[in-house]
Each structure stands twice: as structure tokens, then as C-alpha cells.
Amino acid sequence: MDFKRFRKVEEIYLDKNNIGTLEKGVFKHLTNLDVLSIFDANIEKIEDGAFEGLQFVSSLYLDKNKFNITSNTFQNMPNLQNLLLNENSFTVIPSGAFIHSESLSTLELSNGKIETLEKGAFVGMNQVNILSLSNNSISKLPEGCFHGTNLKTLRLDDNRFEILSSELFQDLSTVTEISLINNSIHTIDSNAFVNLKNVRKIYLNMNNIATIKFHAFHDLPNLYTLALIANNLTTLEDGIFGGNLHNLRYLYLKNNSISSIDKDVFINLTSLINLDLSNNNLGNFVNTGIFKGMKLEFLSLQNNSITRLEKDAFEGMTNLEVFYISHNPIKEIPSGVLDSLKNLNKFDIFNCSLKSLPKDIFKENKNIAILNVGGNEFTNLDVSLIKPLNRLIRFHDYNNPLECNCQNYQLWHWLKEKNIKIYKEDDKDNTMSTCWEEGKKLKLSEMETKVCKRKKNQLPIGNTPEIVGTLSATFQMIGLFSIFVFMT
């Protein structure tokens, strides 16, 4: 390759070629080059000095090739800021691989075959904030491999980590976000993240985590979000969230197999506002006082095999705004169970086994704006149930065996008068408010013409006794008058 004629060129794209080897000095005449892309070009070797003369290059794209890296591969590019090395076949990041790349701010090493990170592998990368090593074959982070870095985000998804311990995260005190999604992690040791004092977000979804040891998340004063979605957790024991987690606000535990929670497991999480426990096996553990007094604003208990709720299960949860408890075989909700939830804005009990609700169930929940009672076994829903909800804007009652009667029509009519939406967002034809009559499914709106519409000039039912009484008295007077005339 001869680039003598392209001295003034600022961008060159050599993608999808069959280059084989980048020889020393091959680009030395491209002294004005800013962007060099050699994507998917079957590069098997990069000779030391190949990038000689590229002092102004800011972006180098070498994705999907077959070369190995040495400590001199990326020398002679003092202004290199963006380096993409995704989908390559090298297995080792050697010591000092990026020592000549002091201006580097973006480095991508995902979807490759990396197995080993040598000590000092990333030394010299003072400006890189985000490092992605996702979808490789890394199982260890040797001591010193991140020495000299100032990383903010470290992505290690889709690798081969099995145990998280304090030895794993050395020289990462500047990291604020770390992601280890879809590894083979089964255990989190005590003090596993003790060297990540500035971390704000930890993502451990889609692993095999079955054991979280005492104080596993100890001394993480800045932790804001912790995600443990789709693991093998069966119990949450006291102490696993102990030790200075006072700023934790979002905790995601959905899609596990949790069937037991110690009463005080959340007691240390004084700032927690969002707790997702959906798709577990909690059953009636929700009634053991584990939520009492929590400052949650969001709580999801969907799909947990809950069969009953105790009146005081959610006592003191005055900040709760969104509450999902759908897809549980709950047959009855006791009066007063929602009384503490005075700020409740959205309540979802879809697809439970409810046949009725206490008439005063929402007496303390005047802020509810969205209410979903669909998918239950209600045959009648009285309008008095939801009349206290002055801020209601959406009401879902679909998939209930509602009878076609005036009681249910009255509810539908009231909702219509108040301009409250009674259908799902994808149901613009308003077909969800339906009832059943002799095995046929009808719209509740049809009840107006069937049995519930007053005839023209029909007198109000409430005045009938008075009218009947007046007519009776009139006939009696006529009778007496007739007798008087006859006798005369």
C-alpha cells in the first residue's frame, strides 16, 4: 500500500479488505490523517511502528480482525482518543499495551476472545472513563491490571467470573458503575466491593447467584442502584445489606426464587424508594412485617404466589405511590390493608382471584389516579367503591365476568361522566368494559338501551309512593261525594 498521494487526506476507510499485515511505516505519509478505519480486513499482524507518522489521528477502528497486541502496537499516535478493538481474536492484553496512548478517552474491547489481563495492562490510560470488556472469556482480574487508570464505568458482562471477592476489584477506587451481567457468578463474598467506595451502580443480573454472604455490600456509602435480577436467590438473610448502604435507593430482586425474607433484612436501607420483588416465591411472607414503615415509593410483588394479605402488612408505608400485586392467587383483601398508603397513585391487582372488595377499601387512598382490577372474578362492581377517588384518570376492569345489570352500568356511566379512561392504552375502541348476558359478551354501554334507560316522561321512582297516596285520597273523596249525592 502506497499512500504518498494522500498526504492531505483526513479520513481513510480500508474496511472489508484482505490486508493480512500492516507493515512498519505503511502510513507514514498520511501526516494530516484524523480517522483511520480498517474494519474486518483480515489483519493477522501489526508490525511495531505500523502507525508511525500518524501524530494527528484521533480515531482508529480495528474491529473484527485477527492480530495480537504488543506494548508497541499503538505507539506513535500521541493524539489518539478513540480506539475500537471489538470482535478480535487476541486472548491476552499484555502489560503496557496502551502505555503510549495517554490521550485515549474511549476504548472498546468487547465481543472478543480475551482470557488474560496482565498486570499493568491498562497503565497510561488516564483519560479513559468507560471501558467495555464484555463478551470475552475473562475469569480473573489480576492485581495491578487496572493500575494507573481513572475509570468511571467498567463493563464485564458475558464473561466467566464465578466468585466476587475483594481481591477481584483492585485499583478501581474511581469507578462509579460496574456491570457483571450474565456471568457464572454463584457467590458474593463478605466485603466483596470494599475497594469500590465510589461506586453508585452495580449490575449483577442473569448470573447463578445463590449465596450472598454477611455484609457482602459493606461500606458502599455512595451505592445508589443494586440490580440482582434473574439469579438463584432463595432467601434474604439479615446482614446481607448491612454496613453503610444508607444511600441505596433502587434494589431490583425480580426473577429469583426467593421464598424467605428475614424480618430486618431491609432495616438498614433507610433511603430505599424502589423495591422490585416480582416473580419470586414469597407467598405469605409478605405478612411478616418486612415492609412495615419502609419509605418506599415503588413496590412490586407481582407473581409471588401470595394467597392472603394481613391488615397490617403495609402499615406505615405512607410514601408508597406505585404498588403492583397482580398475578397472585389472592382471594380476599381485608378492609384497612391500604389505609396507610395515603400517597398511593397507582394500584394494580390484575389477575388475582378476587370476587369482591370491601366497600371502604379505598377510603384513605384519594390520590389514586390509575386503578387496575381486571382479570379477577368480579361479577359486580359498585360505583361507590371508586367514588372517593377524586383524582382517578384511568380504570381497568377488563377480563372480569361482569353481569349485564344496572349496577355495573351505573359504574360505567359514572366513569364516562367523569371522563375517566376505562380501556387499555392499546384499546382505542373502548371494548374492555364488557359484561355477560346469557353467555354472550356485550359492551356495558349497551345496557343503557336494554334495561337501564328511563322511558320518556317516566316519573322518578322516589316520588311514586307520594303520588300513589295522593291518588288514593282523591278517589276516596270522589266516593264520599257520590254517596252524599245519592242520599240527597
Contact, 125 vs 154, CB < 8 A? no
Give domain limits for the chain: 1-114, 273-460
In the numeric block, the cell 459493606 is attached to 218
Q: How confident is the model at residue 262 (pLDDT cuts 50, 70, 90)?
A: very high
Identify the CA nearest to 299 among candidates 245, 265, 347, 331: 347
Report pLDDT digits (tens) over 292-334: 999 999 999 999 999 999 999 999 999 999 999 999 999 999 9
Question: What integer pLDDT is reported at residue 453 of this predicted model?
Answer: 61
- For 89-234, strand residue ranges (E) read 92-93, 106-108, 116-117, 130-132, 153-155, 163-164, 177-179, 187-188, 201-203, 211-212, 225-227
Expressed in angstroms, the distance from the first to the final Cα of the chain is: 139
Report pLDDT digits (tens) over 431-487: 457 888 888 888 877 777 766 764 444 434 344 344 334 334 444 444 444 433 344
Mean pLDDT of the chain: 90
Report pLDDT digits (tens) over 104-115: 999 999 999 999
Question: What integer pLDDT is reported at residue 480 of this predicted model?
Answer: 41
In the numeric block, the cell 380501556 is attached to 423
Lay out the sheet containing 187-188: strands in order across: 163-164, 187-188, 211-212
Give me the mean pLDDT over the 419-429 stretch: 67
* CA distance linking residue 267 with residue 240, whole number of Å: 11
* Pairing mode of beta strands 106-108, 59-61: unpaired
Other Cβ atoms closer than 10 A to 27: 22
Question: What integer pLDDT is reported at residue 458 of this predicted model?
Answer: 41
* CA distance linking residue 422 with residue 391, whole number of Å: 14
Report pLDDT digits (tens) over 214-235: 999 999 999 999 999 999 999 9
CATH superfamily of 1-114: Ribonuclease Inhibitor (3.80.10.10)
Question: What integer pLDDT is reported at residue 436 of this predicted model?
Answer: 87
Question: What integer pLDDT is reported at residue 423 of this predicted model?
Answer: 64
Report pLDDT digits (tens) over 409-423: 999 889 989 999 986
Question: What integer pLDDT is reported at residue 469 of this predicted model?
Answer: 42
Report pLDDT digits (tens) over 70-88: 999 999 999 999 999 999 9
Identify the CA nearest to 389 among candidates 351, 409, 350, 415: 415
Q: Tell me which of 278-287, 422-431, 469-478 is least confident.
A: 469-478
Report pLDDT digits (tens) over 134-180: 999 999 999 999 998 999 999 999 999 999 999 999 899 999 999 99
Q: What is the CATH number of domain 273-460?
A: 3.80.10.10
* CA distance linking residue 300 with residue 98, whole number of Å: 46
Identify the CA nearest to 86 among candidates 58, 64, 117, 116: 64
In the numeric block, the cell 480515531 is attached to 59
Question: What integer pLDDT is reported at residue 477 of this predicted model?
Answer: 43
What is the CA 349 to chain-centroid distance, rounded? 19
Q: How many CA atoms lie within 13 A of 436 on its CB side?
A: 11
**Do the domains 1-114 and 273-460 sit in the same CATH topology, yes or no?**
yes
Question: What integer pLDDT is reported at residue 426 of this predicted model?
Answer: 54
Percent of the chain with pLDDT over 70: 90
Query: DSSP per residue over 372-440, as a string?
Result: E--SS--S---GGGTTT-TT--EEE--S---BSSHHHHHHHHHHHHTT-B-S-TT-TT---SEEEETTE
Q: How confident is the model at residue 3 (pLDDT cuts 50, 70, 90)?
A: confident
Question: What integer pLDDT is reported at residue 424 of this predicted model?
Answer: 57
Give me the mean pLDDT over the 378-389 stretch: 94
Identify the CA nearest to 180 among candidates 248, 133, 247: 133
User: Model pTM?
Assistant: 0.88
Contact, 175 vs 197, CB < 8 A? no
Q: How many CA atoms lie within 13 A of 41 on its CB side?
A: 20
